[in-house]
Structure formats: structure tokens, C-alpha cells
Amino acid sequence: MTQATILVVEDEGIVAQEIKSRLEKSGYAVCAVAHDGRTAIAHAGKMQPDLVLMDIRLKGEMDGIEAAGVIRDRFNVPVVYLTAYTDPATLERAKVMEPFGYVVKPFETRSLMVSIEIALHRHRSEYERIYREKLQAVLETAGAICHELNQPMMAISGHTELLLDTLENDSPVYPKIAKIKSQVERMGAITQKLMGITRYETKDYVQGERIVDIEKSSLTFD
């Protein structure tokens, strides 16, 4: 099991420590324990946990459902609810915030661990899907731009070639026109390489970063 950092939000101190102990014995790292909604939001922003275990009924002006919504919107951290309340009204409010899990007290450690792992996997999967969709959109846009640039660059290249044919080699403007032609051809080569990308895939890279594998071209811009 991969160790994940978890923020525990529970207003009953003894219960919070019991949950913390169970999590740590199961291999998770508890980054903090919060007893109210506003403290939970502050901890989530500062510590960026992998997951928040959130009690629905919290003391203070903000309950767990409201706090979960803020954490989701601001920090994109998945939330699993912990609660002893299963009445329809509470469940409906909880569902609006799109939680990644719902564990009813009292619970067994095993069921809590399963809920956590499912939530973490679901969140990672959603992140990967969104990343791939954005990457696909970027590549498609880049391809469309390259396609639109090709025609004017071909026109410039053709006209500069005609100009060079009409000029003497010792003409003072000859080197300048030749430079324009060479640079346009260089730009054309780059756009052709970009358009030649027909396959790509994302993969894990150093420290969780991502790269694009270019299958059919090597982008060298020198």
C-alpha cells in the first residue's frame, strides 16, 4: 500500500485520536487533526494532503459538508465523509459536494482502509483523465496552428526565391532576402515536424512530472 497523507477532521478529541492511531497503524501518514471546519480548510491549504477524512457534524458555524465543498473547490483534495448520521436529508446535502466516499460510524478499520484506497484511486484516475484531455487539446491546437502557418510560409518562401533569382549576388539586399528565405524554411521544417506527431503517450517522469513521447519525429530546433 502506498503511503498517503491524510487530514483527519473530527470534533471529538478521543475519536479523532482513535482514527489517527488506526490510520498510522495501517501505514498512512496523518498530517494533522482538525476539530472544526475553518481549521480543516486552513490545514488543507497549507499541507495539501492526499485525502481528507471529514466528520459531517462539526462544532462551530461550518459543518463538515460545507468545509468539504470549500476544500474540494480550492484545493482539489478528495474528501471521505465520516458520520453517524444517515438520514436522507444529510445524505442529500453530502452528495451535492461530490464526496469520494462515505463511511458510517461505528466502522471497522478494514472498511475504512478500503474506502480510502478507492477514493485515492478514483482521484488519481480523474486527474489522469483531465490531464490527458488537456494534453490532447493542446496537441490538436498546435497541429491546427502549424497547418494554418504552412500556407503563408510557403508563399513567403516562394516569393523570396523569385526575388533572389532577379537579384545579382552582389546586390546589397541579396543577403537580407536570402536570410529571410532560410529562416522561413527553418520555420517550415519545425511546423512539419510538429505536424508529424501522430502518436503520443503520457508517462511518469522524474518526481511525478510528465513528458510527451514523440514517436515519429525528433524536434530539434537548431
Q: Rounded to whole angstroms, how far apart are CA atoms 152 and 80? A: 55
**Residue 218 lies inside a defined structural domain of this protein:** no
For residue 198, name the pLDDT band (cuts at 50, 70, 90): very low
Statement: residue 208 has pLDDT above 60: no
Query: Considering only CA atoms, which of 50, 41, 49 is closest in space to residue 71?
Result: 41
Report the domain count for the chain. Answer: 2
- pLDDT for 30: 95
- pLDDT for 2: 56
Cβ count near 63 (within 10 Å): 19
Query: Considering only CA atoms, which of 70, 53, 73 is closest in space to residue 61?
Result: 70
**Residue 117 lies inside a defined structural domain of this protein:** no
- Provide the pairing of β-strand 202-204 with 210-212: antiparallel
Domain boundary among the residues 53, 78, 107 is at 107
Domain shared by 98 and 139, yes or no: no
H-only helix segments in the chain: 13-25, 37-47, 64-75, 88-96, 109-166, 174-195
**Residues in CB range of 168: below 8 A, 6 or more apart:** 174
Q: Who wins on pLDDT, 189 or 69?
A: 69
Domain shared by 100 and 132, yes or no: no
Q: What is the CATH number of the domain that holds 83?
A: 3.40.50.2300
Cβ count near 172 (within 10 Å): 8
- Give the position of cell 532576402: 177
Q: Rounded to whole angstroms, how far apart are CA atoms 64 and 51? A: 14
Give the phi and the psi of residue 199 in degrees, each rounded to 5.
-140, 145
Statement: residue 184 has pLDDT above 80: yes
Cβ burial 208-217 (10 Å sphere, 16+ → b, else e): eeeeeebeee
Domain coverage including residue 84: 5-107
**Residue 154 lies inside a defined structural domain of this protein:** yes
Q: Who wins on pLDDT, 192 or 68?
A: 68
Q: Rounded to whole angstroms, how far apart are CA atoms 153 and 217? A: 21
Domain shared by 84 and 149, yes or no: no
Q: What is the CATH number of the domain that holds 201?
A: 1.10.287
- pLDDT for 108: 87
Domain boundary among the residues 107, 136, 154 is at 107
Q: Which of 47-51, 96-100, 158-162, 209-213 has the lowest mean pLDDT?
A: 209-213
Domain shared by 21 and 65, yes or no: yes
**Residues in CB range of 64: below 8 A, 6 or more apart:** 9, 37, 40, 54, 55, 56, 57, 58, 81, 83
Tens of pLDDT along 49-97?
999 999 998 888 899 999 999 999 999 999 999 887 667 777 777 777 7
Rg value, the chain, Cα: 28
Domain shared by 100 and 10, yes or no: yes
For residue 211, name the pLDDT band (cuts at 50, 70, 90): very low
Domain shared by 103 and 136, yes or no: no
Domain boundary among the residues 54, 73, 107 is at 107
Tens of pLDDT along 114-171?
999 999 998 888 888 888 888 777 777 777 787 788 888 888 888 898 988 998 888 9
Statement: residue 182 has pLDDT above 60: yes
Domain shared by 87 and 174, yes or no: no
Domain shared by 84 and 15, yes or no: yes
